[in-house]
Amino acid sequence: MDTIKMKAYAKVNLSLDILGKRPNGYHDVEMIMQQITLYDDIEIRKTDQDITIHTDCYYVPSDSRNIAYKIAKDVLEMKHIESGIHIEIKKVIPVAAGLAGGSADAAGVIMGLNILFDLNMSLEEMKEIAVKHGADIPFCIEGGAAVARGIGEELEVIPSLKNTWMVLVKPPIGVSTQSVYKNFDLDKVEKHPDNEKLIEAMHKNDYRFIAKNMYNVLEEVTSKRHSIIGQIESKMREYGALGTMMSGSGPTVFGIFKNYKKAETASKHLRRKYKDVFLVQAYDGGRHE
Protein backbone atom coordinates (compact mmCIF):
# COMPACT_ATOMS: atom_id res chain seq x y z
CA MET A 1 0.00 0.00 0.00
CA ASP A 2 1.43 3.37 -1.07
CA THR A 3 -1.55 5.65 -0.40
CA ILE A 4 -4.21 5.94 2.29
CA LYS A 5 -7.30 8.16 2.38
CA MET A 6 -8.87 9.25 5.66
CA LYS A 7 -11.82 11.33 6.80
CA ALA A 8 -11.09 13.78 9.61
CA TYR A 9 -14.31 14.51 11.51
CA ALA A 10 -15.12 17.76 13.31
CA LYS A 11 -16.65 18.00 16.80
CA VAL A 12 -19.02 20.22 18.71
CA ASN A 13 -19.12 20.82 22.45
CA LEU A 14 -22.39 19.88 24.10
CA SER A 15 -21.01 21.45 27.27
CA LEU A 16 -17.86 23.28 28.28
CA ASP A 17 -16.93 24.06 31.86
CA ILE A 18 -13.68 25.43 33.27
CA LEU A 19 -12.78 24.28 36.78
CA GLY A 20 -9.53 26.13 37.37
CA LYS A 21 -6.18 27.26 35.99
CA ARG A 22 -2.87 25.45 36.34
CA PRO A 23 0.45 27.17 37.12
CA ASN A 24 1.60 26.46 33.56
CA GLY A 25 -1.30 28.48 32.16
CA TYR A 26 -3.45 25.55 31.01
CA HIS A 27 -7.05 25.35 32.21
CA ASP A 28 -8.68 22.34 33.83
CA VAL A 29 -11.87 21.59 31.95
CA GLU A 30 -14.84 19.26 32.01
CA MET A 31 -16.69 19.13 28.73
CA ILE A 32 -18.82 16.85 26.61
CA MET A 33 -17.67 16.53 23.01
CA GLN A 34 -19.53 14.95 20.12
CA GLN A 35 -18.16 14.16 16.68
CA ILE A 36 -20.28 15.24 13.73
CA THR A 37 -20.55 14.28 10.06
CA LEU A 38 -18.53 17.27 8.86
CA TYR A 39 -15.07 16.24 7.74
CA ASP A 40 -11.89 17.10 5.85
CA ASP A 41 -10.48 14.65 3.31
CA ILE A 42 -6.89 13.56 3.90
CA GLU A 43 -4.65 11.61 1.54
CA ILE A 44 -1.22 10.37 2.65
CA ARG A 45 1.18 9.09 0.00
CA LYS A 46 4.61 7.51 0.39
CA THR A 47 7.38 9.47 -1.37
CA ASP A 48 11.16 9.53 -1.72
CA GLN A 49 11.33 12.99 -0.12
CA ASP A 50 10.93 14.02 3.51
CA ILE A 51 7.53 15.33 4.62
CA THR A 52 5.53 17.61 2.37
CA ILE A 53 2.05 18.91 3.03
CA HIS A 54 -0.50 20.80 0.96
CA THR A 55 -3.96 22.16 1.70
CA ASP A 56 -6.50 23.80 -0.58
CA CYS A 57 -7.02 26.57 1.99
CA TYR A 58 -4.51 29.38 1.44
CA TYR A 59 -4.40 30.51 5.08
CA VAL A 60 -3.71 27.04 6.51
CA PRO A 61 0.07 26.49 6.77
CA SER A 62 1.50 24.04 4.24
CA ASP A 63 4.77 23.61 6.11
CA SER A 64 6.17 22.60 9.51
CA ARG A 65 3.78 24.98 11.32
CA ASN A 66 0.85 22.68 10.54
CA ILE A 67 0.14 20.28 13.43
CA ALA A 68 -0.57 17.51 10.91
CA TYR A 69 3.03 17.94 9.74
CA LYS A 70 4.33 17.98 13.31
CA ILE A 71 2.54 14.81 14.32
CA ALA A 72 3.68 13.05 11.14
CA LYS A 73 7.31 14.02 11.83
CA ASP A 74 7.00 12.74 15.38
CA VAL A 75 5.62 9.37 14.24
CA LEU A 76 8.16 8.86 11.43
CA GLU A 77 11.07 9.62 13.76
CA MET A 78 9.71 7.59 16.66
CA LYS A 79 9.06 4.54 14.48
CA HIS A 80 12.33 4.93 12.51
CA ILE A 81 10.54 5.19 9.17
CA GLU A 82 12.88 6.25 6.39
CA SER A 83 10.22 6.81 3.73
CA GLY A 84 9.00 10.32 3.00
CA ILE A 85 5.32 11.19 2.81
CA HIS A 86 3.10 13.74 1.13
CA ILE A 87 -0.04 14.85 2.97
CA GLU A 88 -2.91 16.38 0.99
CA ILE A 89 -5.70 18.01 3.01
CA LYS A 90 -8.96 19.13 1.42
CA LYS A 91 -10.57 21.49 3.90
CA VAL A 92 -14.29 21.56 4.57
CA ILE A 93 -14.24 22.17 8.33
CA PRO A 94 -13.95 25.95 8.89
CA VAL A 95 -10.65 27.12 10.34
CA ALA A 96 -10.43 28.62 13.86
CA ALA A 97 -14.11 27.88 14.37
CA GLY A 98 -14.32 25.92 17.63
CA LEU A 99 -14.79 22.65 15.70
CA ALA A 100 -11.31 21.11 16.18
CA GLY A 101 -10.55 21.13 12.45
CA GLY A 102 -6.77 21.21 12.87
CA SER A 103 -6.90 18.57 15.60
CA ALA A 104 -9.11 16.36 13.42
CA ASP A 105 -6.59 16.59 10.57
CA ALA A 106 -3.73 15.68 12.90
CA ALA A 107 -5.74 12.71 14.20
CA GLY A 108 -6.48 11.61 10.64
CA VAL A 109 -2.77 11.74 9.82
CA ILE A 110 -1.59 9.64 12.77
CA MET A 111 -4.35 7.07 12.19
CA GLY A 112 -3.53 7.03 8.48
CA LEU A 113 0.19 6.51 9.11
CA ASN A 114 -0.67 3.66 11.47
CA ILE A 115 -2.40 1.86 8.60
CA LEU A 116 -0.05 2.93 5.79
CA PHE A 117 3.09 1.64 7.52
CA ASP A 118 1.49 -1.27 9.46
CA LEU A 119 2.61 0.23 12.77
CA ASN A 120 0.01 -1.62 14.88
CA MET A 121 -0.25 1.26 17.33
CA SER A 122 -3.15 1.01 19.77
CA LEU A 123 -5.58 3.87 20.27
CA GLU A 124 -3.88 4.60 23.60
CA GLU A 125 -0.43 4.78 22.01
CA MET A 126 -1.67 7.12 19.30
CA LYS A 127 -3.40 9.33 21.87
CA GLU A 128 -0.25 9.45 23.97
CA ILE A 129 1.74 10.75 20.99
CA ALA A 130 -1.07 13.09 19.95
CA VAL A 131 -1.57 14.93 23.24
CA LYS A 132 1.89 16.49 22.90
CA HIS A 133 0.57 18.35 19.87
CA GLY A 134 -2.89 19.37 21.08
CA ALA A 135 -5.38 18.55 23.84
CA ASP A 136 -8.27 17.91 21.37
CA ILE A 137 -6.37 15.42 19.19
CA PRO A 138 -6.85 12.41 21.52
CA PHE A 139 -10.62 12.91 21.34
CA CYS A 140 -10.50 13.12 17.54
CA ILE A 141 -8.64 9.79 17.54
CA GLU A 142 -11.11 8.20 19.98
CA GLY A 143 -14.12 9.47 18.06
CA GLY A 144 -17.81 9.32 18.91
CA ALA A 145 -18.70 11.13 22.13
CA ALA A 146 -16.73 11.57 25.32
CA VAL A 147 -16.41 13.56 28.52
CA ALA A 148 -13.05 15.32 28.44
CA ARG A 149 -11.32 16.29 31.66
CA GLY A 150 -7.87 17.52 32.69
CA ILE A 151 -6.76 19.86 29.91
CA GLY A 152 -9.02 17.88 27.61
CA GLU A 153 -6.92 14.75 27.24
CA GLU A 154 -8.59 12.57 29.92
CA LEU A 155 -11.45 10.89 28.09
CA GLU A 156 -14.48 9.00 29.37
CA VAL A 157 -16.21 7.46 26.37
CA ILE A 158 -20.01 7.79 26.43
CA PRO A 159 -22.74 6.90 23.91
CA SER A 160 -23.07 9.24 20.93
CA LEU A 161 -26.32 11.01 20.22
CA LYS A 162 -28.45 9.04 17.79
CA ASN A 163 -30.87 10.24 15.13
CA THR A 164 -29.92 13.84 15.87
CA TRP A 165 -29.68 16.64 13.32
CA MET A 166 -27.69 19.81 13.83
CA VAL A 167 -27.27 23.03 11.88
CA LEU A 168 -23.94 24.84 12.20
CA VAL A 169 -23.24 28.46 11.31
CA LYS A 170 -19.70 29.82 11.24
CA PRO A 171 -20.01 33.63 11.22
CA PRO A 172 -17.52 35.64 9.13
CA ILE A 173 -15.30 36.54 12.07
CA GLY A 174 -12.10 35.16 13.54
CA VAL A 175 -11.73 34.21 17.18
CA SER A 176 -8.44 33.49 18.93
CA THR A 177 -8.76 30.60 21.39
CA GLN A 178 -5.79 31.95 23.32
CA SER A 179 -7.41 35.38 23.61
CA VAL A 180 -10.74 33.92 24.77
CA TYR A 181 -9.09 31.90 27.53
CA LYS A 182 -6.94 34.89 28.50
CA ASN A 183 -10.04 37.03 28.99
CA PHE A 184 -11.98 34.36 30.85
CA ASP A 185 -12.47 35.10 34.56
CA LEU A 186 -13.64 32.07 36.52
CA ASP A 187 -14.62 34.23 39.51
CA LYS A 188 -17.22 36.02 37.39
CA VAL A 189 -18.92 32.89 36.09
CA GLU A 190 -22.46 32.74 37.46
CA LYS A 191 -23.62 29.57 35.68
CA HIS A 192 -22.02 26.21 34.98
CA PRO A 193 -23.30 23.26 32.95
CA ASP A 194 -24.73 20.36 34.94
CA ASN A 195 -22.46 17.81 33.30
CA GLU A 196 -23.63 14.96 35.52
CA LYS A 197 -27.20 15.29 34.25
CA LEU A 198 -26.04 15.90 30.68
CA ILE A 199 -23.94 12.71 30.75
CA GLU A 200 -26.96 10.81 32.05
CA ALA A 201 -29.02 12.26 29.19
CA MET A 202 -26.37 11.13 26.68
CA HIS A 203 -26.73 7.55 27.95
CA LYS A 204 -30.51 7.83 27.43
CA ASN A 205 -30.17 9.64 24.07
CA ASP A 206 -32.39 12.35 25.56
CA TYR A 207 -31.49 14.97 22.97
CA ARG A 208 -34.29 17.27 24.11
CA PHE A 209 -32.79 17.55 27.61
CA ILE A 210 -29.33 18.07 26.13
CA ALA A 211 -30.55 20.74 23.72
CA LYS A 212 -32.27 22.69 26.48
CA ASN A 213 -29.52 22.34 29.11
CA MET A 214 -26.19 22.43 27.22
CA TYR A 215 -23.99 25.32 28.31
CA ASN A 216 -20.59 26.79 27.44
CA VAL A 217 -18.90 29.08 29.99
CA LEU A 218 -16.69 30.59 27.26
CA GLU A 219 -19.65 31.86 25.29
CA GLU A 220 -20.04 34.93 27.46
CA VAL A 221 -16.48 36.00 26.65
CA THR A 222 -16.87 35.58 22.89
CA SER A 223 -20.43 36.87 22.60
CA LYS A 224 -19.55 40.07 24.47
CA ARG A 225 -17.06 40.88 21.72
CA HIS A 226 -19.20 39.58 18.87
CA SER A 227 -22.95 40.23 19.07
CA ILE A 228 -23.41 38.10 15.95
CA ILE A 229 -23.20 35.00 18.18
CA GLY A 230 -26.45 35.92 19.95
CA GLN A 231 -28.05 36.99 16.66
CA ILE A 232 -27.43 33.59 15.10
CA GLU A 233 -28.74 31.81 18.18
CA SER A 234 -31.94 33.86 18.04
CA LYS A 235 -32.41 32.91 14.39
CA MET A 236 -31.78 29.25 15.19
CA ARG A 237 -34.52 29.29 17.81
CA GLU A 238 -36.82 31.18 15.46
CA TYR A 239 -36.35 28.42 12.89
CA GLY A 240 -37.17 25.65 15.34
CA ALA A 241 -33.97 24.67 17.14
CA LEU A 242 -34.65 22.83 20.41
CA GLY A 243 -31.49 24.46 21.78
CA THR A 244 -28.49 26.35 20.50
CA MET A 245 -24.97 27.08 21.73
CA MET A 246 -21.50 28.19 20.67
CA SER A 247 -18.97 25.39 20.21
CA GLY A 248 -15.57 25.60 21.91
CA SER A 249 -14.13 29.09 22.03
CA GLY A 250 -16.23 29.95 19.00
CA PRO A 251 -17.37 31.48 16.88
CA THR A 252 -19.38 28.60 15.35
CA VAL A 253 -22.95 28.33 16.65
CA PHE A 254 -24.99 25.15 16.33
CA GLY A 255 -28.58 24.21 16.95
CA ILE A 256 -30.14 20.81 17.66
CA PHE A 257 -33.31 19.91 15.77
CA LYS A 258 -35.83 17.14 16.31
CA ASN A 259 -35.93 16.01 12.68
CA TYR A 260 -34.28 16.40 9.30
CA LYS A 261 -37.08 18.47 7.76
CA LYS A 262 -36.88 21.19 10.42
CA ALA A 263 -33.08 21.23 10.25
CA GLU A 264 -33.09 21.44 6.45
CA THR A 265 -35.59 24.32 6.48
CA ALA A 266 -33.53 26.17 9.07
CA SER A 267 -30.31 25.68 7.09
CA LYS A 268 -31.97 27.05 3.93
CA HIS A 269 -33.10 30.19 5.78
CA LEU A 270 -29.69 30.70 7.40
CA ARG A 271 -27.83 30.28 4.08
CA ARG A 272 -29.59 33.37 2.81
CA LYS A 273 -27.60 35.41 5.31
CA TYR A 274 -24.49 33.39 6.15
CA LYS A 275 -21.97 31.70 3.86
CA ASP A 276 -20.75 28.87 6.09
CA VAL A 277 -23.83 26.85 7.04
CA PHE A 278 -23.69 23.08 7.51
CA LEU A 279 -26.42 20.49 8.01
CA VAL A 280 -24.92 17.54 9.92
CA GLN A 281 -25.63 14.61 12.21
CA ALA A 282 -23.94 13.36 15.34
CA TYR A 283 -21.33 10.74 14.39
CA ASP A 284 -20.42 7.72 16.50
CA GLY A 285 -16.83 7.51 15.28
CA GLY A 286 -17.51 4.26 13.49
CA ARG A 287 -16.65 2.20 16.57
CA HIS A 288 -19.02 2.89 19.44
CA GLU A 289 -22.53 1.53 19.85
Q: Give catalytic residue positions.
A: 11, 136
From 221, 169, 238, 206, select the one nearest 12 (Cα to Cα): 169
| DSSP H or E stretch at residue 38 | strand 27-47
Q: How many CB atoms lie within 10 A of CB 179?
A: 13
Q: Helix/strand/coil (H, E, C) string of 205-226? A: CCHHHHHHHCCECCHHHHHHHC
Q: What residues pair up with 281 in beta bridges, in sequence order?
A: 165
Q: Is 42 helix (H, G, I), strand (E, B) or coil?
A: strand
- 27-47 and 84-90 beta bridge pairing: antiparallel
Residues 6 and 108: beta-carbon distance below 8 Å: yes
> Which residues lie closer than 8 Å to 41 by C-beta, 6 or more apart?
5, 6, 7, 8, 89, 90, 92
Rounded Cα distance, 167 and 205, in Å: 18
Residues 40 and 62: beta-carbon distance below 8 Å: no
Q: How many CB atoms lie within 10 A of CB 238?
A: 10
Rounded Cα distance, 5 and 72, in Å: 15
Residues 141 and 105: beta-carbon distance below 8 Å: no
